[in-house]
Structure 1
């Protein structure tokens, strides 16, 4: 599949970009500090640059849960927010590329606001995931962004429609309200309600059906991301994966096969450059 063909499908809306942490691999702050681009680098940033025990280093959600238990929920939320807001950094190349396409629907697992900056001059909907809330079962918030006022405001889920772009950030975001799904307890709650049908607005449940996905910078080696992707893309019509992994685990291969996802033999950097 040629890049130009993928771009054409993204523009027409049959292929949905689905972004993960790997898109930050080449991104550093203006002071030269690397943005987290995988589980290990996320753990190191959350823990002040220090490694944790092998059991906790297995996946950043475990490490985040341990830090939350020891230091409290406000600490892990503030630390996550600090990582992506304290120091300026350029928008990762994948978002620069998407700016040329302006997809009508995007799924972004990253916690920062890079995706939102692309649509700053365009009215759009933003859906952010939430967890461990007491009011109802829904694990999402729907916002409407008005380009003339440069502001988001909450709207009822019934207002969601395909007339303007839809940006879906299932794991939360730094804006418009700081909210992250990052620890084990967050993911367990979100996934439990997702399996009950409460992680996506009703409109999105049908709108996403029979769409294909272009997974960029996603690592499917851990159960958590596989489960999140499975719930968000239920009803998918196959897709493609671009990441920098040269060898896939058996779990990854099984997931890709069962979802009819083809791994393209190219690095993310080469893909973006058109190779």
Structure 2
């Protein structure tokens, strides 16, 4: 079937339309006209079984192996993390997250390709640090990473921290050609994690007026849309953050997802935010973009 289907207000590009749209998106990425928004499904491009969890449910399972949570919250990563923080202290939660994501994660070919492009902004929505590693591998010195940080022990109005690729903390708004934005934190360089429900209480209170979003992100998204790659939106927290990161950007937005696997909530989210689906498995889409097997 070689046509574009509209399911409600959800636009889906299939077959030759999907391939053609990917070619246009490749040109847009190379010209810094669209922002890649990366998710943990990218890890499956390199690993049949990734060395770190690649879904919120897998993180919850790793927590439960250390301290079983009540059955009603057992599969919810954020609630299980909150349970651990309340019962075992924040230091324990922090240490366990560092253990869970300690395994070295090599960048995929897709990460490596993105790292060579003159992109103004890359958003990485998972904790594994693969995109950071790919940027380090290029030897670039014109990149800063802005990470979301917990306010559990914060003094003052601190929502993020900024680092160069060597791990040195920088002043906010440090100049850079490329900003890597990790809104939920990352294992590298300092094991900053937004993970427990309590981490998000103030952020979700303020995020509608965009206070937690860094100025560099607000500025660099203004004339661009977003391309979601390796992302799923089957959890309310992931949908909320994605919605706020793309807020006030100019669009258009796209997502490479196998449409047959979409949940009702994902369909509603994609339609409500005018995100066009490129109906293609992530591996196939990555291979077309990079121009080689991934």
Normalised by the size of structure 2, how large is the TM-score? 0.80
Name the counterpart of 1:66: 83
* Cα distance between partner residues in 2 of 1:93 and 1:201: 28
Q: Which residue is equivalent to 1:141?
A: 161
Larger deviation: 224-233 or 65-74? 65-74
Q: Report what 2:263 is aligned to.
A: 249
Most deviating of 101-110 and 260-269: 101-110
**Counterpart Cα distance in 1 of 2:68 and 2:26:** 40
Listed one character per residue, the Cα deviations across residues 168-223 of structure 1 (whole Å, up to 9, x for unaligned) are 11111222222100111112222223234321233432321231111112121211
Q: Secondary structure at the match of 1:175?
A: coil
Of the structure 1 ranges 45-54 and 207-216, higher mean CA displacement relative to structure 2 is found in 45-54
- In structure 2, C-alpha distance between the alignment counterparts of 1:261 and 1:54, rounded to whole Å: 35
SS in 1 for 2:279: coil
Tell me the CA shift for residue 35 of structure 1: 2.4
Deviation of the 1:54 alpha carbon: 4.6
Out of 127, 130, 148, the residue aligned to residue 149 of structure 2 is 130
TM-score using structure 1 length:
0.85
- Range 192-201 or range 34-43, more displaced: 192-201
Match of 2:30 among 4, 7, 11: 11
Listed as ranges, the matches of 1:193-232 within 5 Å are: 193-232=206-245
2:57 aligns to what SS in structure 1?
Answer: helix
Deviation, 1:27, is 4.9
8 Å CA contact retained: 2:228, 2:255: yes
Residue of structure 1 in register with 2:181 after alignment: 168
Q: Which runs of 5+ in 1 are unaligned?
A: none
Match of 1:77 in 2: 94
Shift of 1:107: 0.4
CA distance in 2, matches of 1:68, 1:103: 37
Q: Contact 1:160 / 1:203 at 8 angstroms: preserved in 2? A: no
